[in-house]
Structure 1
Amino acid sequence: MRNRTDRTGPPALRRALAALAALALALVLAPTAPAQAFPASTRAQLISFLNGISGQNMLSGQHNREPNADPTKYTRVAQSITGQTPGLWGGDFLFDAADVNARQTMVNEAIRQWQGGSVVALTWHMCPPTMGSTCNWDNNIKSRLSDAQWNELVTNGTGLNNAFKSRLGEALPYLRQLQTAGVPVLFRPIHEMNEGWSWWGGRPGANGSRKLYQITYDYFTGQGLNNLVWVWNVKDVNMGSIADYWPGASYVDVASLDIWVKLEPSQSDYQAMLNIAGGKPIALAEVGRVPSPTVMNAQPRWAWWMVWAEWLTDPAYNNNAAVQASYFHSRVFNRGEFSIGGGGGGGSRTGAITGAASGRCVDIPGATTVNGTQVQLYTCNGTSAQSWTVGTDGTVRALGKCLDVNGGVNADGTKVQIWDCLAGNTHQQWTYNSTARTLVNPETGRCLDATGQGTADGTKLQLWSCNGQTNQQWNLPA
């Protein structure tokens, strides 16, 4: 982050016209394409979407920091330059009294942004638990607890530990409003934890900054919040040591990086994030410079990038032509160019599931009902072995059995099989991304995949890291 004093895609013709409009109007806001308004959705649907676009598309994003009373200040700047609305809107619970008092305005805007067709990302520059709910940047946000205070903070039931949980509770009513409105949130607490500029950062190890992240996760999930997509975050410093800050895969939905030491992420930064994410989505949660087309092509697995506030127009980082080139890049999704959710309405659907690359049907060999039978591709024949019911409960069923991840193993190559349907079994949950046409198991974050990119009869189906290839694209029954 930076403070006040620190210093494939939609039709090309529409994008080209938007660029010309933005220039011709001397950077006055040009009309954007009609947005695909998002319905009430779940965190699983958002995670499925992120997995589904991995390797082929990424969201444009713009952060809106102070003032919370004007929570689209920098989004409007992005619109004026590009004629597009960013695919992701960023907000912050913040710390200054005026911004704390305007949190409701910020959350109202978050709901509007989601309903209008932009993904919502929230962070929190939080005052330390040693003081009140509002504070200053210098000497408060930018401060350090003593080792004794830190140990008290991460020890359950102590005074500072309880004070921290009370501080978290200040955001609870707002996050519940978002949950009630059906808004899944990319939530990035304890950000840039691998650097010590903030009171919460720069403490490696099991009882360090990652412990505070775990406490945050446990608190909010314990309060029944089920709309948060948990975004773990580090800064581009000492990348060889980021494992010292990793809280564990069960605490992370997305692994993200902030780029401030360098102008753009290096290939080694990119690889380090892929390595630690272990198949989960990765993202550029904060950037000063808009990623160039060259970077996006070389590093296609970033799920989104978000420019930090006024850095969008800082000449040391960006110019209008570069911003437009990134927004109009074929990999980039702006608002109105993708959809999330909506697949769960209208009840269950029954029929064939076909591979986009092969045209063949997902098939149970020999119409057997034996548990553990691996499903395959086979020429469509209209039999019950190829008739799948895609349920509103997240299951995919045929012949009285459920499509199942063998043992729930989170690894590439795990076979996808049929098994007795078990209520609440996460091995048998699937979400469909209608934009990327992927079937994703939310428990593992991996995609249903035809082995070896095969298209022939008998090609076995497996789990594999989502990569945007056609052997992971499926057509569901209407």
Structure 2
Amino acid sequence: MSAIAGDHNRFQVQPKLINPNADDCAKRLMAYLCDTYGRKMLTGQQIGVITSPEMDFIHRETGKYPAVGGFDFMNDSPSRLERGAVGTDTELALKWWEDGGIVTFCWHWNAPKDLIDQPPDNGWHRGFYTSATTFDLAAAFEDTDSEEYRLLLSDIDAISGLLAKLRDAGVPVLWRPLHEASGGWFWWGAKGPQPCIRLWKLMVERMTHMHGLHNLIWVWNGQHEDWYPGDEYVDIIGEDVYVPERNYVSNVKRFNQAADYTREAKIIALSENGPLPDPDGMLEDGALWAWNCTWYGDFVKSEQFTDWEMLRKFYNHSFTLTRDELPDLRSYLLPVRE
């Protein structure tokens, strides 16, 4: 066990958000996450893009719903809407919150322009992949009068409008944009860390100060220390981990890697996973993720990645929390001001 995993102080995170003007809904959720971190892990599940049977499937198999619902603004990207895509996840997320769940959003951001659009592998619908676009993020930042830079802003503004609907409904959002950047397979990471860090900071500043999105808790998921934008721009660190089929390891090495991105005590989440980690293994290794979010489709609907026995164990374990076990986050005690 590493010093970080073994040091209980690492789980004593102060419920202080990077946005000093955060809404009470975000403060309440952050306070709850800090209160449970290291003691319990929230179960989570991403829904599908076209159909979303995952939540009902889990309920049928385990008798429980996950505490955290994962949603995606993929089909709300303007370059997808132009081509006939229809975004549905905002309304689904509102319903999830009303039903007592916690909301997390990612954004498979279709490049604003320069889509290769050569099916099947590089069709427009895969425009978030580096292989499917020639959009150059570094060049966009070199000329802030360019069409490319203006499109970055307008796309951010479009998604901000949807996040504002959630804000106006009192929904706090675990907001995880620009995910897996260091992998390079998404265009926002294709030009190295510096342009991506600039885009992250631009998004934080614009969404917070121009759009007043004070309901956001910023979950950074760059997956490498060289891509870390700084503690003042990150509330929570997420790691996406896909291990081989039916491998139920705790992913402690990745947990410790994430903890090493900063000298501050930050909450660390398993923001995407394939096979479920065994809760007993997590407790043994000290890999006490704040929540997990299993990816959709066969990762949950078949026994290829996680067998039903482990699924039931995971959702009924004393270390994990399900939706029915959440408090009323609308009235959860606000953190005491320092």
Report the TM-score when normalising by structure 2.
Answer: 0.80
Shift of 1:122: 0.6
The equivalent residue for 2:304 is 316
Structure 1, residues 55-103: CA drift from partner, whole Å, max 9, x if none?
A: 1011100101211xx4x42111111111101101111111455997542
**Structure 1 stretch displaced more, 263-272 or 290-299:** 263-272
Seen in structure 2, the aligned counterparts of structure 1 residues 50 and 157 have a Cα distance that, compared at 3 Å, is: farther
Question: Residue 231 of structure 2 is aligned with which of 241, 249, 253?
Answer: 249
Seen in structure 2, the aligned counterparts of structure 1 residues 49 and 300 have a Cα distance that, compared at 3 Å, is: farther
The equivalent residue for 1:239 is none
Question: Residue 171 of structure 1 is aligned with which of 138, 159, 162?
Answer: 159
Shift of 1:331: 1.1
Are 1:194 and 2:174 counterparts?
Answer: no
Q: What are the residue-to-residue correspondences of 1:281-430 with 2, within 5 Å?
A: 281-297=267-283, 298-310=285-297, 311-339=299-327, 340-343=329-332
Q: Determine if contact 2:67/2:101 at 8 Å carries over to the other structure.
A: yes
Question: Residue 169 of structure 2 is aligned with which of 174, 181, 203?
Answer: 181
The equivalent residue for 1:74 is 54
**Bigger-Rg structure (1/2):** 1
The amino acid that maps onto 1:199 is W
Question: Residue 234 of structure 1 is aligned with which of 222, 227, 238?
Answer: 222
Question: Residue 208 of structure 1 is aligned with which of 174, 190, 195?
Answer: 195
Structure 1, residues 280-299: CA drift from partner, whole Å, max 9, x if none?
A: 11100100111112332123
Higher strand share: 1
Shift of 1:300: 4.6
Seen in structure 2, the aligned counterparts of structure 1 residues 106 and 150 have a Cα distance that, compared at 3 Å, is: closer
2:103 is paired with a residue whose SS is strand
The amino acid that maps onto 1:75 is M
Are 1:50 and 2:33 counterparts?
Answer: yes
Question: 2: CA distance between counterparts of 1:326 and 1:100?
Answer: 39
Shift of 1:203: 4.1
The equivalent residue for 1:110 is 93
The equivalent residue for 1:94 is 74
The amino acid that maps onto 1:287 is N
The equivalent residue for 1:62 is 45
Which runs of 5 or more residues in structure 2 are unaligned?
Answer: 1-22, 118-122
Higher helix share: 2
Question: Residue 240 of structure 2 is aligned with which of 258, 274, 286?
Answer: 258
Are 1:272 and 2:257 counterparts?
Answer: yes
Structure 1, residues 425-450: CA drift from partner, whole Å, max 9, x if none?
A: xxxxxx34xxxxxx686xxxxxxxxx
Question: Residue 141 of structure 2 is aligned with which of 154, 159, 183?
Answer: 154
1:215 is paired with a residue whose SS is helix
1:303 is paired with a residue whose SS is coil
Question: 2: CA distance between counterparts of 1:98 and 1:329?
Answer: 45
1:90 is paired with a residue whose SS is strand
Question: 2: CA distance between counterparts of 1:115 and 1:98?
Answer: 31
Seen in structure 2, the aligned counterparts of structure 1 residues 191 and 204 have a Cα distance that, compared at 3 Å, is: same
1:171 is paired with a residue whose SS is helix
Question: 2: CA distance between counterparts of 1:120 and 1:100?
Answer: 26
Aligned length: 296
The equivalent residue for 1:415 is none
Question: Residue 143 of structure 1 is aligned with which of 113, 130, 146?
Answer: 130
> How well do the aligned residues superpose, as a CA RMSD in angstroms?
2.6
Question: 1: CA distance between counterparts of 2:57 and 2:289?
Answer: 23
Question: 1: CA distance between counterparts of 2:287 and 2:106?
Answer: 24
Structure 1, residues 243-294: CA drift from partner, whole Å, max 9, x if none?
A: 1100111111110000125554532211111222521111001001111123
Report the TM-score when normalising by structure 1.
Answer: 0.57
Q: What are the residue-to-residue correspondences of 1:453-472 with 2, within 5 Å?
A: none
The amino acid that maps onto 1:93 is F
1:224 is paired with a residue whose SS is coil
Seen in structure 2, the aligned counterparts of structure 1 residues 440 and 74 have a Cα distance that, compared at 3 Å, is: farther
Structure scoring higher RCO (CA < 8 A, sep ≥ 6) equals 2
Q: Determine if contact 2:61/2:312 at 8 Å carries over to the other structure.
A: yes
2:175 is paired with a residue whose SS is strand
Question: 2: CA distance between counterparts of 1:286 and 1:234?
Answer: 12
Question: 1: CA distance between counterparts of 2:33 and 2:55?
Answer: 22
Q: Determine if contact 2:250/2:282 at 8 Å carries over to the other structure.
A: no
Seen in structure 2, the aligned counterparts of structure 1 residues 234 and 151 have a Cα distance that, compared at 3 Å, is: closer
Seen in structure 2, the aligned counterparts of structure 1 residues 279 and 113 have a Cα distance that, compared at 3 Å, is: same
The amino acid that maps onto 1:275 is D
The amino acid that maps onto 1:338 is L
Structure 1, residues 191-235: CA drift from partner, whole Å, max 9, x if none?
A: 001101111125444x23222222221221121110111110135
Q: Determine if contact 1:256/1:282 at 8 Å carries over to the other structure.
A: yes
Structure 1, residues 380-434: CA drift from partner, whole Å, max 9, x if none?
A: xxxxxxxxxxxxxxxxxxxxxxxxxxxxxxxxxxxxxxxxxxxxxxxxxxx34xx
Structure 1, residues 111-130: CA drift from partner, whole Å, max 9, x if none?
A: 12112111001111111122
Seen in structure 2, the aligned counterparts of structure 1 residues 312 and 102 have a Cα distance that, compared at 3 Å, is: same
Q: Between the two proteins, what is the percent identity of the paired residues? A: 25
Question: 2: CA distance between counterparts of 1:146 and 1:128?
Answer: 9
2:182 is paired with a residue whose SS is coil
Which runs of 5 or more residues in structure 1 are unaligned?
Answer: 1-39, 236-241, 345-430, 433-438, 442-478
Seen in structure 2, the aligned counterparts of structure 1 residues 209 and 313 have a Cα distance that, compared at 3 Å, is: same
